[in-house]
């Protein structure tokens, strides 16, 4: 079970994230099509960047999915963040109330 505050890194690109809200399915968080690993674990392996998941991500942005999972990108990379085969989307900022 992944907990809030957990730091993860990609096996196939430079992407690093911090878990904000675990949500359902975050155990299958991927970057570039390969599962992400705890930042303390050596991520080197034989995984390669999947071209279908190579749209990249943006540092400082929060990514969410329908289950409520939310991660913050602390280091951008070439891999698209996804839960399984479903890409995560950038969390939109809430508009401030009008001050008339």
How confident is the model at residue 44, as a pLDDT?
62
Distance separating alpha carbons of residues 59 and 3, to the nearest angstrom: 21
Q: Is the pLDDT of residue 13 over 70?
A: yes
Whats the size of the chain, residue-wise? 100
Positive or negative, the CA dihedral 53, 54, 55, 56 is positive
Is residue 31 within 8 A of residue 77, CB to CB? The reply is yes
Delimit the domains of the chain by residue range: 7-90
pTM of the model: 0.87
What end-to-end distance do the CA atoms of the chain give, in Å?
Answer: 46
Round the average pLDDT of the chain to a whole number and report it.
90
């Amino acid at each position: 079970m992944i907990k809030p505050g957990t730091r993860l890194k990609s096996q196939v690109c430079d992407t690093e994230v911090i878990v904000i809200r675990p949500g359902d399915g975050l155990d299958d968080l991927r970057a570039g099509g390969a599962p992400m690993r705890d930042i303390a674990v050596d991520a080197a392996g034989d995984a390669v960047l999947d071209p279908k998941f190579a749209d990249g991500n943006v540092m400082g942005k929060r990514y969410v999915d329908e289950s409520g999972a939310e991660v913050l990108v602390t280091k951008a990379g070439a891999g698209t963040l996804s839960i399984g085969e479903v890409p995560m989307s950038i969390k939109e900022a809430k508009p401030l109330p009008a001050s008339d």
